[in-house]
A and B are shown apart, each in its own frame.
Chain A
C-alpha cells in the first residue's frame, strides 16, 4: 500500500526565550504504519507533540493532512482533525465510567438533546470488542482499572472519534511485560485499521518490535529518517548522539584525592536497588541514564529528601543518616535540584534572600538575621558566579533562566558544602550560561570540592566527568573511566543494548 503520507509536518521551528526547541524539522506519518520518534531528552520530541496536538503554535513551518494544509490553533482543532495523543500518564477522568470516558464530548444524544445512555453503553461495548478489549466493562469506574486497561480506554476513545492519527508518548513506561505485549497487539490492530501512528519510546527493542519507520531528532533538528528494516541499532544510536561540538568544555587536570562520599547497598522500596559508588575529592562523577532510571531519586535519598529502606552513606568515613535536607546540608552534602522553577528558586523573593535561604542558620544568631552578613554572603557568591543583575534586592522572577540557575547554584554553594550534587545543571539554559556553569564546576573541583553531576546530555557527561556511572532501571549498570569513552557505549549501556 504505497500511499502518500497522512500527516506531514515540514520546516517546523519553535523557540522559547533563550532556547531554540525545534529548528526546521519535518516528520511524515503514513496510514497503517507506526513511525518511531527517537531522540535524547531535550531533542525536541515533546515540543513537537505539543505542536501536533495544538498546544503550542509553531513559529514557522506547515502542517498538512492528506496533502491539504491545515492549522492547529487549539487542542480542540487537533481533535477535530482526528489527531489524538495517548500520554504516559493517561489523561482521562478517574471518576467517570469507561463509556463516559470514551464518549466525553461527543456522547450520542436522544431526541431531547439529553445523553442517550443506552446507545452510549452499546457503542462503547462495540468499540471495545472490535479492539479485542471486550473484557473491559463499559460501566466500570476508570479508577478501578490498571494503567494498561486505561490505555485501552484511551485508544477506544481515539477509535470512537474516528481518529486518523494516534500519537503515543512513551506509552509503555508504566507497563509490565505482559501489558506491553497487549499494547503491541493493539497497535497492530490500529495499523490494520489504517491509522497513522507516532510512537515515542526510549526502548530500542520496542521500536524494532512495533515501528515501520523512524525519525531521529537531535538538539531540535531532524537528523535522519527511513524504514526501520533498513537501519541497524548502532546506526540509529550514532544519529542520536553524533553532533557538532557547540561549545568547548573547560580543560582541567583532575587531581583526584581520597574518597569523600561512599555509598553502599542503598535501596528504596520502589525506585532503586543496591546502589553503591565512591566519590573522590576533586572529582566530577557523572550519572547518566534514561529518564526514569532512578538517578534523581538516588540523589534525593543521599541528600535527605526521601528515605531509603537500607544501605549506608558515609561522608569522610563517618556514616550519616540524613532525615531531612537540613541534616545533609549540615553534614556538607547539598543537592541542586533539577526543576529550577519548582524546587530551586523562590520566585517572589529577592536575589539575596534566595541565596541565603539554605544558610539562614549561619546568617542569623539565635534566630535574629544579620542583614549585613546575609548581603555579604549573597554578594560574594553571586559575584563568583558572575551573575548579572541590577541589584541584589531584585526579584529572581525578573531574571533569565541562565541567571536563575546561577542563583540556584550560588545558594547551595553558600552553605560551604563538601559534596555538591547537580541534577541537570544546564537544562533549558542558553549556551553562554552553560559555558559559565561548566567553567564554574571546573573551578569548584580544583578547589577540592567533589561534584556529582546527573545529566542526560551526552556532551556534558563526556566533557565534564572524570568517571561516569550509568544507571538502568533503578540499578547501576556500569561505571566507566572517562578515558576514550564514547557516547555510543553510554547510550547502549543505558538502554541495555548489547554491543
Chain B
C-alpha cells in the first residue's frame, strides 16, 4: 500500500510540474524560485487546513465546520486585538488555538458521546459557528486600521528570506508528519479508518480517538483563523464562506480516501498546492475563472477515479479472503 501511496504522490507531483510548465509558457517568470516561494506562501493556509481535515477524514469522519471555526476564531482574535492592542501576538495565537480547540471539542463530543454522524454534527456547527460570529461582532467588521501593526506584520516578516507564514506551514507539516508516522495516536487514526471493528478488538478507543481528531481539526481551524484575518486584514461574518469545500477538495485531490484509512501528509500538502496554483496563478495568465473551476473540478474527479482504481485492487483481495473464510 505504501508503494501505491508513493505512486499517487509522484503522479500528483508530476501533475503539478506539468501545470507549472504550462503556466510558464504563457508567463515565463512563473517557474522562478522566488515566484514558487510566493505560491507556497499563498497556499500555506489551505495546506494547514487540509492537514487538519485529513486526520478527520482518515477516521471515516468529516469536519464541515472548519471554515466557520476559522471565521469565528478570526473574529475573536481580531476583536481582542482591536480592543486591547497591547496583548502580545504569540498570546493571541494561543487564544486562537484554544478557541478553535473548544469549537472542535464540541464537534468531537457530539460525535463521540451522542454518536451522531460527523457530517450531521458539523453541518449543524457550520451554521452555528458562523451565526455565533454574527452574535459576538453584532455584524460589524474589524478593519485593517483597527488592527495593530504587529498583528498584521507577524506573518509578513521574513526569516532567512522566507515569510513567517510559510515557516508556520512548514512547522505544521512537520508536526503532522511526526504525528502520523511516529506516534501511537497516528497509528490508531489509520487503524480505525481501515478497520474500526478490528481496532475495537485491539483495545483502541474509537470514540475517544475521533474526539481527539476533531480537537486537532478545531485547533487547526483556530490557528488558520488568526492567519487568515491577519493576511486579508478584514474580519467579518463572510470570511471564508464556503471554504470548507476547498479544504475537502484539497484532501481528495491529495489522495485521501473519503472512506477513511488511506492518505498521507505529503498527499494533503500536494493536493492543497495543486488547488493553490490553479486559483492563484491562472488569473495572472488571463484564464477565466470558469476555466479555473472546470480545472479544479476535473482534478477532483480524476483524483477520485485514480484512487478508486487503487482501492479496488485491494478490494478484490478482501473479497477473495471473505469467500474463502
Contacts and interface: CB of A to CB of B under 8 A. Distances in A.
Q: Do A and B come from the same complex?
A: yes
Interface of A: 16-19, 305, 324-326, 329, 335, 337, 339-350, 353, 356-358, 360-361, 363-364, 367-369, 371, 393, 395, 397-398, 401, 404, 411, 427-428
A341 B321 contact: yes
B182 interface: yes
A399 B56 CA distance: 29
Contacts of A346: 191, 194-195, 198-199, 202
Contacts of A348: 1, 194-195, 261-262, 314
A226 to B, nearest CB: 32
B198 A345 contact: yes
Given A324-B203, A342-B195, A371-B182, 14 more contacts: A326-B203, A347-B195, A348-B262, A348-B314, A349-B190, A353-B187, A357-B187, A357-B204, A367-B184, A369-B187, A397-B321, A398-B317, A411-B202, A428-B324
Nearest to B200: A325
Contacts of A324: 203, 205
B325 A401 contact: yes
A407 to B, nearest CB: 11
Contacts of A349: 1, 190-191, 194
B182 A401 contact: no
A397 B317 contact: yes
Contacts of B200: 305, 325
Query: Which 6 residue pairs across A and B have the least CB separation, nearest first?
Result: A326-B203, A16-B324, A360-B184, A428-B325, A348-B194, A358-B202
Chain A binding surface, main DSSP class: mixed
Interface residues of B, number: 33
Interface string B215-235: 000000000000000000000
B204 A367 contact: no
Given A360-B184, A364-B184, A397 B199 contact: no
Contacts of B184: 360-361, 363-364, 367-369
B65 to A, nearest CB: 26
A357 B191 CA distance: 8
13 contacts: A17-B324, A305-B201, A341-B322, A343-B201, A346-B199, A347-B194, A347-B321, A348-B1, A348-B194, A349-B194, A368-B182, A368-B183, A428-B324
Nearest to B322: A341
Contacts of A16: 320, 323-324
B318 interface: yes
Contacts of B1: 348-350, 395, 397
Nearest to A303: B201
B241 interface: no
B125 to A, nearest CB: 28
Given A326-B205, A347-B195, A358-B202, A401 B324 contact: yes
Given A326-B205, A346-B198, A397-B318, A369 B182 contact: yes
B35 interface: no
Nearest to A344: B198
Given A305-B200, A348-B261, A397-B318, A341 B194 contact: no
Interface string B257-296: 0000110000000000000000000000000000000000
